[in-house]
Each structure stands twice: as structure tokens, then as C-alpha cells.
């Protein structure tokens, strides 16, 4: 199986949701640097415009709030053909364990991290189907791995940590598998990425020394540019190694 980049698709088109800052902006920048036309998804037009100016090259603003059906539909109407969709927009609402967290934290988190991905993916499927090599990359989290959550060797033990966020990423991983199976016959590659701990607004507890968001973005770009014999339905760490479900 080949998971090296596919240079043929570099004149294509990509959409990155939540690309006005953080890891998403880095993904958009690297895809633009690779020669693609990149729609910088941003729920706020001004913040998006600033990111587009910073990225330059093939970057274009696409105002898109993944939790707002009208915004999703309006954005999808603006994109005729799409080669790459990166579902990156994400939130972390509430930090407690399941018994500590209120249901509103779960609803708010799932609204973006799960239902937002469903809405955006479904709305852009017609545009993706017009591509010769459609790719979907879901930005998940290693903390959504059930294997890494339990047992004596757990990398991210569940004790005291964000149940809403982590279970939303476990659901996103499951969705990745469902989409990969449903779309496999149409040439799609659908994969999830564990980007690693990165100092961003979402992850205020991370230190800059924990790793550059650009390094995580490179992992997403690799999955976005997969060749036809690349993997689908997988969960991959930012460095290319497999992540356990």
C-alpha cells in the first residue's frame, strides 16, 4: 500500500474548515504552497480574510459555519468541483469526566465535531464526486482512541479528562470508517488524523515545545494527497504511523 504523496493532484482544489487559525490555517498554507487552490473555511469573514491574505497564493475565503445549515448550503453552492475536503473545525467545550459534564457541553461539542462534519461532508459530496481523486481527511485526536484511553499503558488515561471532546472524536473516527466503506467504490480515500498535542487556542494547556502545528498539518497534507493505491478508512498519527482505534 502506498501512502506517499500524489503529485498529479496538485493543481486541484481543497477546502479546509476552520482554517482561519491553528492547525487548519497551516494545512491550508501547505496545500496552497503545494499548488492547490484552497478554500479557507472560516465562520467569521474578517478572520478568514486575514488568513487568506497571510497564506496568499491560491487561498480563497469561504465563509462557513459548520453548525449552521444555511451557511453550509451557501458555501457548497459556491464550489463546483472539489478534490480534497479537510474537516478540521473543532471545539472543546467543558473539560470534565462524563459524570461531571453537563449534557449541554456534550451537545455543543458534538454539534461541531460530529454533526458539523456530517453536514459539511454531505453538502460537499456532489462537488467531491466530480473529482478524479476525491480525498477526505477528518482531523480527529489521539485522545479519541479507546485503545489509548484504557489499560495500564494508556497514553491518554480517561481520568479527569474531557469526556465530551474525547467521545466526539471517537464518534468522528467511527464516521470515518462508515464514509470510507460507503465511498470506496467511487475512488474516495477517507482517513482520520491524530495531529498530536499542539499549542493552539483550543489546547491552551499545550506548550509551544509540544510541537509545531505545521508538523501536524504536514500529516494532514500527506493524507490529502494520497495516491490511488493509498489507504482508506484508517486512523493515522501525524508522523504517518498507524493510530489505534
Question: Which residues would be at the binding site for ligand NDP (CB under 6 A)?
Answer: 17-18, 20-24, 43-44, 47, 64-67, 88-91, 112, 116, 139, 141, 195, 197-198, 200-203, 206
Whole-number Cα distances in Å, 83 to 7, 10, 15, 130: 13, 10, 8, 8
Beta carbon nearer to ligand NDP, 22 or 234? 22
- C-beta of 187: minimal distance to ligand NDP in Å? 25
Q: How many Å apart are CA 57 and CA 42, to the nearest integer?
A: 17
Smallest distance, ligand NDP to C-beta of residue 116, A: 6
141 classed as catalytic: yes
User: Which C-beta is closer to ligand NDP: that of 50 or that of 129?
Assistant: 50
Q: What is the DSSP string of 193-209?
A: EE-----SSS-TT--GG
Look up cell 497551516; give the residue.
26
Q: Which lies closer to ligand NDP via its Cβ, residue 79 or residue 197?
A: 197
How many angstroms separate the CA atoms of 173 and 150, rounded? 17
Smallest gap from residue 11 Cβ to ligand NDP (A): 26
- β-pair partners for 235: 192
CA–CA separation, 128 and 13 (whole Å): 10
**Considering the complex, what minimum distance in angstroms separates the CB of residue 228 from ligand NDP?**
27
Q: Which is nearer to ligand NDP, 61 or 66 (CB)?
A: 66
Residues for the chain: how many in total? 245
Selected catalytic residue, list 141, 145, 149, 168: 141
Q: Which residues are catalytic?
A: 141, 169
Amino acid at each position: 500500500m502506498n501512502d506517499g504523496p500524489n503529485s498529479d493532484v496538485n493543481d486541484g482544489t481543497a477546502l479546509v474548515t476552520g482554517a482561519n487559525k491553528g492547525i487548519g490555517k497551516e494545512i491550508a498554507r501547505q496545500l496552497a504552497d503545494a499548488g492547490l487552490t484552497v478554500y479557507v473555511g472560516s465562520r467569521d469573514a474578517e478572520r478568514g480574510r486575514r488568513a487568506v491574505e497571510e497564506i496568499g497564493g491560491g487561498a480563497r475565503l469561504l465563509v462557513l459555519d459548520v453548525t449552521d445549515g444555511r451557511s453550509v448550503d451557501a458555501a457548497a453552492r459556491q464550489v463546483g468541483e472539489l478534490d480534497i475536503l479537510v474537516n478540521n473545525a473543532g471545539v472543546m467545550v467543558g473539560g470534565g469526566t462524563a459524570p461531571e459534564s453537563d449534557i449541554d457541553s456534550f451537545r455543543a461539542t458534538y454539534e461541531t465535531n460530529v454533526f458539523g462534519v456530517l453536514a459539511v461532508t454531505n453538502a460537499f459530496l456532489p462537488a467531491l464526486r466530480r473529482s478524479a481523486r476525491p480525498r477526505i481527511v477528518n482531523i480527529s485526536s489521539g485522545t479519541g482512541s479507546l485503545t489509548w484511553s484504557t489499560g495500564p499503558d494508556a497514553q491518554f488515561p480517561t481520568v479527569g479528562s474531557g469526556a465530551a471532546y474525547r467521545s466526539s472524536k471517537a464518534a468522528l473516527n467511527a464516521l470515518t470508517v462508515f464514509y470510507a466503506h460507503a465511498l470506496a467504490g467511487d475512488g474516495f480515500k477517507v482517513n482520520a488524523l491524530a495531529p498530536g498535542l499542539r499549542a493552539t487556542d483550543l489546547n491552551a494547556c499545550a506548550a509551544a515545545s509540544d510541537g509545531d502545528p505545521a508538523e501536524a498539518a504536514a500529516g494532514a497534507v500527506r493524507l490529502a494527497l494520497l495516491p490511488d493505491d493509498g489507504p482508506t478508512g484508517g486512523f493515522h498519527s501525524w508522523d504517518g504511523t498507524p493510530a489505534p482505534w
